[in-house]
């Protein structure tokens, strides 16, 4: 995260809160408390009216305000519902991020809209969710971002096990199930793997580069062709 972005986020966190400690900010922003102290000094020097109470925390002066975020009621409910779904079905990292998003939005909304956010009657229960799937999702997200090959011990719907070496391209959520869209080196073709059927996975430390015919855009084009052919046959 760029430092300018972090300074902006600190102001957003301080909005709508009575007191916020340096430790809380360091945990939310994943930096040291010393970095937070430097950030606070720079914000004060730039004219942001932050009030500090030694040993208690920071707060933003009530005289300071940024233009409130303007969302309609439907937009607020959409944001809340999406964040709650991620909190229920996402990975540990995404769940944490979704909670921080809601806190930021709450701090930036005017009071009447903040009440709508808090009272939104849309929920995503997380009963019977396998936590191991969420942990695999974080691993896959990291592998996709870093272009790392993944080795899978996979069990298909017929109960047959196989070892696959794949290039992870994207993850998709199918209303209760996450899948990995990938280029399979064994089949030399695109393949989908359900995360809840992965028995084990290994990152061998090998990177890949995008090649024509093996990218996520190619995967989408193939899916569109197959969907179009099925529709024409029906």
The DSSP code sequence of 102-132 is HHHHHHHS-HHHHHHHHT-------TT--HH
Q: Quick check: is 65 in a domain?
A: no
* CB neighbourhood size of 10 (10 A): 23
The answer on 108 and 24 residing in a single domain is no
Residues with Cβ within 8 Å of 39's Cβ and at least 6 positions away in sequence, in order, are 3, 6, 7, 10
Quick check: 12 and 39 in contact, CB under 8 A?
Answer: no
DSSP code, position 230: H
* Secondary structure class of 208 (helix, strand, coil): coil
C-alpha distances out from residue 21 to 35, 59, 87, 137, Å: 13, 9, 25, 32
Tell me the three state secondary structure of residue 52: strand
Q: What is the pLDDT of residue 163?
A: 97
Q: Do the domain assignments include residue 40?
A: yes
Whether 156 and 212 share a structural domain? yes
Model pLDDT, residue 129: 77
Q: How many domains does the chain have?
A: 3
Domain shared by 111 and 140, yes or no: no
CATH number at residue 45: 1.10.10.10
CA dist., res. 30 & res. 55, Å (int): 21
Q: What is the CATH number of the domain that holds 212?
A: 2.30.30.100
Asked whether residue 68 is assigned to any structural domain, the reply reads no
pLDDT at 44: 87
* pLDDT on residue 65: 58
**What's the pLDDT at 234?**
43
Three-class DSSP category at 17: coil
Where do the H-state alpha helices sit in the chain?
3-14, 22-29, 33-45, 73-89, 92-108, 111-118, 131-146, 216-233
In a domain, 166, yes or no: yes
pLDDT value at residue 20:
86
Range of the domain at 7: 3-60
pLDDT given for residue 17 in this prediction: 67
Place of tokens 């009530």: 62
One domain, residues 139 and 204: yes
CA distance 131 to 92: 9
Domain annotation covers residue 217: yes
- Residue 91: the pLDDT is 93
What is the mean pLDDT for each group of 10 consecutive residues in the chain (234 residues)? 79 76 88 91 86 80 64 87 92 91 81 84 83 93 97 96 97 91 96 96 96 94 81 47
């Amino acid at each position: 995260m760029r430092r300018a972005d972090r300074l902006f986020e600190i102001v957003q966190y301080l909005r709508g809160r009575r007191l916020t400690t340096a430790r809380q900010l360091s945990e939310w922003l994943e930096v040291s408390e010393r970095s937070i102290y430097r950030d606070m000094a720079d914000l004060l020097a730039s004219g942001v009216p932050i009030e500090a109470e030694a040993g208690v925390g920071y707060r933003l002066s009530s005289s300071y305000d940024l233009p409130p975020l303007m969302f309609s009621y439907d937009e607020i409910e959409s944001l809340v519902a999406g964040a709650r779904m991620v909190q229920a079905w996402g990975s540990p990292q995404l769940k944490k991020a979704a909670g921080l998003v809601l806190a930021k939005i709450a701090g930036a909304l005017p009071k009447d809209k903040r009440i709508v956010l808090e009272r939104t009657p849309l929920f995503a229960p997380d009963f019977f969710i396998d936590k191991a799937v969420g942990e695999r999702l974080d691993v896959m997200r990291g592998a996709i971002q870093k272009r790392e090959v993944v080795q899978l011990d996979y069990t298909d719907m017929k109960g047959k096990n196989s070892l696959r070496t794949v290039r992870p391209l994207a993850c998709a959520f199918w209303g209760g199930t996450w899948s990995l869209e990938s280029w399979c080196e064994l089949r030399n073709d695109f393949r989908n793997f359900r995360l809840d059927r992965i028995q084990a996975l290994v990152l061998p430390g090998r990177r890949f580069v995008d090649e024509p015919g093996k990218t996520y855009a190619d995967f989408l084009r193939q899916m569109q062709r197959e969907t179009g052919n099925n529709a024409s046959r029906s």
